[in-house]
Structure 1
Amino acid sequence: MATEPAFLSVTTGSVITANGRTYRVSHLLDAATLLAKDTDTGEVHRLSAHQLRPVTDIELGEGGVAEGKDLSEIEDEDWQVAQQRFAAIRPLLDDPFRTRAKAEQLAEEAGVHVATLYQWVKDYHEAGHISALIPAPRGRKPGTKKLDKKVEAIIEGAINDLYLSRQRYKPSDVIITVKAHCKQAGLLPPHSNTIRNRIKQISTRETMRRRGLRDKARDTFAPIRGEFPNADFPLAVVQIDHTPADVILVDEEHRLALGRPWITLAIDVFSRMVVGIAVSMEKPSAISVGLCVSNAMLPKHEYLANLGVGQEWPVWGKMRVLHADNAKEFRGKMLRRACEQYGIDLQLRPVKLPHYGGHIERYMGTAANEIHTLPGTTFSNVEQRKGYDSEKESALTLREFEQHLVEFIVGVYHRRKHSELNMPPMRKWQLGILGDSTQPGLGMPPIPTDPTRLKLDFLPLYSRTVQRYGVQLDEINYYHEVLNPWIGSKDPENQTKARSFTIRRDPRDISKVYFYDPESEIYYMVPYRNPTRPAISVWELREATRRIREEGLRHVDEDVIFETILKMRHRVEQAVTKTKQARRQMARINTTKKLAKKTESVETQAPAKSVFPAPPQTEVQSEIDIFALPIEPFDDDA
Structure 2
Amino acid sequence: QSLIDEAIQSVYLTRERLSVAEAYRYYKSRVIQINRGIVEGKIKPIAERSFYNRINELPPYEVAIARFGKRYADREYRSVGQQVAATKPMEFVEIDHTPVPVILIDDELDIPLGRPYLTMLYDRFSKCIVGCSINFREPSFDSVRKALLNSLLDKSWLKAKYPSIENEWPCHGKIDCLVVDNGAEFWSQSLEDSLRPLVSDIQYSQAAKPWRKSGIEKLFDQMNKGLVNALPGKTFTNPTQLQDYNPKKDAVVRVSVFLELLHKWIVDYYHMAPDSREREIPYHKWHQSKWTPSYYDGAEKEQLRVELGLLRHRTIGVAGIGLHNLRYQSAELIEYRKYCTPNNGKKLFVKTKTDPSDISYIHVYLESEKKYIKVPAVDNSGYTNGLSLFEHQRIQKVRRLNTKVLADDEALADTFLYMKKRIQEETDRFRRVKSSKPNLPKTGNTSKLAKFNDVGSEGPSSINETPVRHKSEVVFDATEHLDDDDFEDIEGY
Could you give the per-residue CA deviations for residues 306-363 of structure 1, whole angstroms, max 9, x where no partner exists?
Answer: 4556441011111211111111111222322333323421000123322321100000
CA distance in 1, matches of 2:344, 2:134: 46
Verify the 8 A CA contact 1:307 1:399 in the aligned structure 2: no
When residues 421 and 327 of structure 1 are mapped into structure 2, their CA distance, relative to the original with a 3 A threshold, is farther
CA displacement at 1:508 relative to structure 2: 2.9
When residues 236 and 411 of structure 1 are mapped into structure 2, their CA distance, relative to the original with a 3 A threshold, is same
Could you say what the CA RMSD is over the residues aligned between the two structures, in angstroms? 2.6
In the TM superposition, what are the counterparts of 1:63-74 in structure 2 within 5 Å?
none
In the TM superposition, what are the counterparts of 1:400-479 in structure 2 within 5 Å?
400-420=257-277, 422-432=279-289, 441-442=290-291, 444-449=292-297, 450-479=300-329
Structure 1 runs of 4+ off > 6 angstroms? none
Paired amino acid for 2:352: I
Greater RCO (CA < 8 Å, at least 6 residues apart): 1
- For the residue of structure 2 that corresponds to 1:452, the secondary structure is helix
CA displacement at 1:364 relative to structure 2: 0.5
Paired amino acid for 1:527: P
When residues 453 and 302 of structure 1 are mapped into structure 2, their CA distance, relative to the original with a 3 A threshold, is farther
CA displacement at 1:303 relative to structure 2: 5.2
CA distance in 2, matches of 1:379, 1:551: 38
Structure 2 gaps of 5+ residues are 1-78, 406-493
**Residue of 178, 203, 206 corresponding to 1:347:** 203
Verify the 8 A CA contact 1:238 1:268 in the aligned structure 2: yes
- Paired residue for 1:387? 244
Q: TM-score, normalised by structure 2?
A: 0.60
Structure 1 gaps of 5+ residues are 1-220, 433-440, 555-638
CA displacement at 1:453 relative to structure 2: 1.6
CA distance in 2, matches of 1:372, 1:222: 34
Paired amino acid for 1:445: P
CA distance in 1, matches of 2:388, 2:221: 32
Verify the 8 A CA contact 2:93 2:124 in the aligned structure 1: yes
In the TM superposition, what are the counterparts of 1:202-281 in structure 2 within 5 Å?
228-281=83-136
**Residue of 193, 197, 207 corresponding to 1:337:** 193
In the TM superposition, what are the counterparts of 1:514-593 in structure 2 within 5 Å?
514-531=363-380, 532-533=382-383, 534-552=385-403
Paired amino acid for 2:345: T
CA displacement at 1:412 relative to structure 2: 0.4
Verify the 8 A CA contact 1:372 1:379 in the aligned structure 2: no
CA distance in 2, matches of 1:429, 1:265: 17
CA displacement at 1:498 relative to structure 2: 2.2
CA distance in 2, matches of 1:551, 1:423: 59
Verify the 8 A CA contact 1:465 1:498 in the aligned structure 2: yes
CA distance in 1, matches of 2:393, 2:379: 19
When residues 452 and 337 of structure 1 are mapped into structure 2, their CA distance, relative to the original with a 3 A threshold, is same
- Paired residue for 1:481? 331
Q: TM-score, normalised by structure 1?
A: 0.47
Verify the 8 A CA contact 1:241 1:325 in the aligned structure 2: yes
2:176 is equivalent to residue 320 of structure 1: yes
When residues 424 and 249 of structure 1 are mapped into structure 2, their CA distance, relative to the original with a 3 A threshold, is same
CA displacement at 1:488 relative to structure 2: 5.0
CA distance in 1, matches of 2:325, 2:398: 15
When residues 401 and 456 of structure 1 are mapped into structure 2, their CA distance, relative to the original with a 3 A threshold, is farther
When residues 324 and 377 of structure 1 are mapped into structure 2, their CA distance, relative to the original with a 3 A threshold, is same
**Residue of 353, 358, 368 corresponding to 1:504:** 353
Instruction: Quote the sequence identity (%).
Output: 28
CA distance in 1, matches of 2:129, 2:335: 45
**Residue of 200, 205, 223 corresponding to 1:367:** 223
When residues 525 and 303 of structure 1 are mapped into structure 2, their CA distance, relative to the original with a 3 A threshold, is farther
CA displacement at 1:430 relative to structure 2: 0.8
- For the residue of structure 1 that corresponds to 2:346, the secondary structure is strand
CA distance in 1, matches of 2:163, 2:132: 16
When residues 486 and 267 of structure 1 are mapped into structure 2, their CA distance, relative to the original with a 3 A threshold, is same
Could you give the per-residue CA deviations for residues 150-187 of structure 1, whole angstroms, max 9, x where no partner exists?
Answer: xxxxxxxxxxxxxxxxxxxxxxxxxxxxxxxxxxxxxx
CA distance in 2, matches of 1:378, 1:222: 36
Verify the 8 A CA contact 1:291 1:455 in the aligned structure 2: no
When residues 334 and 230 of structure 1 are mapped into structure 2, their CA distance, relative to the original with a 3 A threshold, is farther
Could you give the per-residue CA deviations for residues 33-82 of structure 1, whole angstroms, max 9, x where no partner exists?
Answer: xxxxxxxxxxxxxxxxxxxxxxxxxxxxxxxxxxxxxxxxxxxxxxxxxx
Verify the 8 A CA contact 1:468 1:488 in the aligned structure 2: no
Verify the 8 A CA contact 2:175 2:198 in the aligned structure 1: no
CA displacement at 1:254 relative to structure 2: 0.7
CA distance in 1, matches of 2:170, 2:230: 27
When residues 468 and 282 of structure 1 are mapped into structure 2, their CA distance, relative to the original with a 3 A threshold, is same
Between 451-460 and 361-370, the greater mean CA deviation after superposition: 451-460
When residues 328 and 401 of structure 1 are mapped into structure 2, their CA distance, relative to the original with a 3 A threshold, is same
When residues 344 and 517 of structure 1 are mapped into structure 2, their CA distance, relative to the original with a 3 A threshold, is same
Verify the 8 A CA contact 2:361 2:374 in the aligned structure 1: yes
CA displacement at 1:523 relative to structure 2: 2.9
CA distance in 1, matches of 2:285, 2:295: 20
In the TM superposition, what are the counterparts of 1:2-13 in structure 2 within 5 Å?
none
Verify the 8 A CA contact 1:467 1:488 in the aligned structure 2: no
CA displacement at 1:255 relative to structure 2: 1.1
2:298 is equivalent to residue 298 of structure 1: no
Higher-Rg structure is 2
CA displacement at 1:489 relative to structure 2: 5.5
- For the residue of structure 2 that corresponds to 1:345, the secondary structure is strand
Paired amino acid for 2:350: F
When residues 535 and 267 of structure 1 are mapped into structure 2, their CA distance, relative to the original with a 3 A threshold, is same
Paired amino acid for 2:137: E
- For the residue of structure 2 that corresponds to 1:372, the secondary structure is helix
Verify the 8 A CA contact 1:505 1:512 in the aligned structure 2: yes
2:141 is equivalent to residue 283 of structure 1: no
2:234 is equivalent to residue 377 of structure 1: yes
CA distance in 1, matches of 2:304, 2:111: 36
Count the aligned residue pairs.
321
When residues 420 and 359 of structure 1 are mapped into structure 2, their CA distance, relative to the original with a 3 A threshold, is farther
- For the residue of structure 2 that corresponds to 1:505, the secondary structure is strand
Verify the 8 A CA contact 1:506 1:513 in the aligned structure 2: yes
CA displacement at 1:480 relative to structure 2: 3.4
- For the residue of structure 1 that corresponds to 2:375, the secondary structure is strand
